[in-house]
Amino acid sequence: MSDFKARTIYQIYPKSFHDSNGDGIGDLKGITEKLDYLQSLGIEYLWITPFFTSPQKDNGYDVADYRNIDTLFGTMKDFEELVEEAKLRGIGIMLDMVFNHTSTEHEWFQKALAGDQYYKDFYIFKDGKPGTPPTNWVSKFGGSAWEYVSAFNQYYLHLFDKTQADLNWENKNVRKELVNVLKFWMDKGVKGFRFDVVNLISKPEKYADDHEGDGRRFYTDGPKVHDYLKELCHESGLNDDGMVTVGEMSSTTIDNCIRYSNPKEKELSMCFNFHHLKVDYKDQQKWILRNCDFMALKKLLNDWQLGLQEGNGWNALFWCNHDQPRIVSRFGDDKQYHKESAKMLASMIHFLRGTPYIYQGEEIGMTNAYFEHIEQYRDVESINYFKILKKEGKKEEDIYRILQERSRDNSRTPMQWDDSPYAGFSENEPWIEVTGNYKEINVKNSAVEPDSILDYYKKLVRLRKEYKVISDGSYIPILLDHESVFSYKRTYDSQTLIVINNFYGTETEVELEGNMEGYQCILSNYESRDPINRLILKPYESLTFLKNE
Ligand code: NOJ
């Protein structure tokens, strides 16, 4: 288990990472070409989002063949080379398994549509008349979660886009197929898996209207989800092989995450939860803007740290991924305090109990895209919501403001490698525009800049390997009532760590309790400081003190 406690995982969205063949789309060879860079960061696992055969309606989260590589991204040989080359650099590859649904172009769904009952049972078909779906559940991408098939006078369930049909996990044959998919990739030498929205796989026995919400309470952490995960991991030998596994857990609870990740349960290594990334949603709604509720954020981080610690669960620590806006634009200040706030936000989570994830470009402080026209957007969810919000009567300028803050495309713009045209991502026009600030914010500049954000991330990765207190220590909250500082202690044997983060761009004062003798400042985003009890923190200042006796 300790294998992944001291390690940091790097996430790659292949379409936007590096294009090796000049078609404007990132590919597997492109990742291989950048392995030395990734090794220099010190990371030991790469989670790569789906590159399997897919019509790309949801950028690969609509898989049409789990065992093949989409020609957009390369060939199986390219993949095998990537695994090999990564291994030489001490990096394990983690694949992204989308097992809640398949693309409607998957052979199974096509056979189902052709009337083959064996494959119809792979999906969730329910009776219903045109215009009256079986339930009022809402798809996560907007609109009804049911699509009508006139040939059967039935609907099929899709919790996401209508081209992503939900699999019927009740069917043992489905579960067997998925175990075999895992075995196939384990034989190719992959070292772990991320499971997409995996806490949605178990649907309720009865399908009924939700009069309180959009239906999610019926299938989130559903009735048999723990049994299914135990079976999946056991049958594929995932646990015996010491693989790293992480489940993406939509709207989950602390108690369920303890069960998902407590080693005794033999389910997963750790969980992603998203509650801390909804503190700027109004009434849990992504498409209504609101400022970050810092006290709510503190409470959530703290509750999850303490809750999982108590139940011996394990958390994935993250701010960014391919579905979230860039954190420096979201909770930091990507203009006046770009460097300071990016570093503070990094410290805030990297020293917590759990395994940290870095999303491509986060380590150089990449910002939101600030696109101004709908034609610049590519994401199915953003485009759907543009239409929905327009229909609701919202003004276009307001919709653009929302998209500029909330669209998933904010994190999907090409990785900024240098200041050449297309940011060194590709030699030709990329599938999605490069963010306008690439001439200043890029890897090439970061590599020579003193005190760069990149350098800071390297230190964070290194410190986690160096000190047991970071990888294995207990978490103790401090300054819980402070209205602008997130601070905590970690303890392990004779080591104690104190982490102090000013979340805002204004000075603030903190008073630390206890004797500060013996502490030294091991990381700071301004100059180093003496460990004293009373400190006036600068805007976005982050300080980490260590006592190592
Ligand atoms: C979560 C993935 O992260 C997201 O990108 C995708 O659209 C949905 N799951 C559906 O697979």
Residue range 429-484, pLDDT digits in tens = 999 999 999 999 999 999 999 899 999 999 999 999 999 999 999 999 999 999 99
Ligand 1 touching residue 98 (CB < 6 A): yes
For position 241, what pLDDT does the model report? 78
Decide: pTM greater than 0.75. Answer: yes
Query: Where in 398-439 does DSSP place strands (E)?
Result: none
Ligand 1 touching residue 431 (CB < 6 A): no
Residue ranges of the chain with per-residue pLDDT less than 50:
1-2
Choosing from 221, 248, 362, 363, which is the catalytic residue? 248
User: For the segment 187-217, what is each residue's pLDDT rounded down to a tens digit?
Assistant: 999 999 999 999 999 999 999 999 999 999 9
- How many A from CA of 230 to the centre of ligand 1? 22
Ligand 1 touching residue 96 (CB < 6 A): no
- How many A from CA of 200 to the centre of ligand 1? 12
Residue with CA nearest ligand 1 atom 6? 61
- How many A from CA of 46 to the centre of ligand 1? 18
Ordered alpha helix ranges (H), 146-271: 172-187, 216-219, 225-236, 254-261
Kind and range of the H or E run holding 46:
strand 45-48
Tokens encoding 536: 């006036």
Rg (CA), the chain: 23
Nearest atom (ligand 1) to Cα of 58: 7
Q: Which one of 196, 198, 384 would you pick to mutate in the ligand 1 pocket, going by the greatest count of ligand atoms within 8 A of its CB?
A: 196
Kind and range of the H or E run holding 548:
strand 542-548
Instruction: Compute the distance between CA of residue 119 and CA of residue 384 in angstroms, rounded to an integer.
Output: 30
Instruction: Compute the distance between CA of residue 457 and CA of residue 327 in angstroms, rounded to an integer.
Output: 14
Instruction: Compute the distance between CA of residue 547 and CA of residue 473 in angstroms, rounded to an integer.
Output: 13
For position 1, what pLDDT does the model report? 40
Instruction: Compute the distance between CA of residue 477 and CA of residue 312 in angstroms, rounded to an integer.
Output: 17
Ligand 1 touching residue 196 (CB < 6 A): yes
248 is catalytic: yes
Ligand 1 touching residue 323 (CB < 6 A): yes
Contact (Cβ atoms closer than 8 angstroms) between residue 75 and residue 69:
yes
Contact (Cβ atoms closer than 8 angstroms) between residue 183 and residue 99:
no
- How many A from CA of 141 to the centre of ligand 1? 10
Q: Give the position of tokens 């492109």.
A: 30
Ligand 1 touching residue 146 (CB < 6 A): no
Tokens encoding 352: 């917590």
Cα separation of the two ends of the chain:
26
- How many A from CA of 490 to the centre of ligand 1? 33
Nearest atom (ligand 1) to Cα of 98: 11
Instruction: Compute the distance between CA of residue 203 and CA of residue 190 in angstroms, rounded to an integer.
Output: 30
CA–CA distances in Å: residue 214 to residues 309, 382, 393:
32, 19, 22
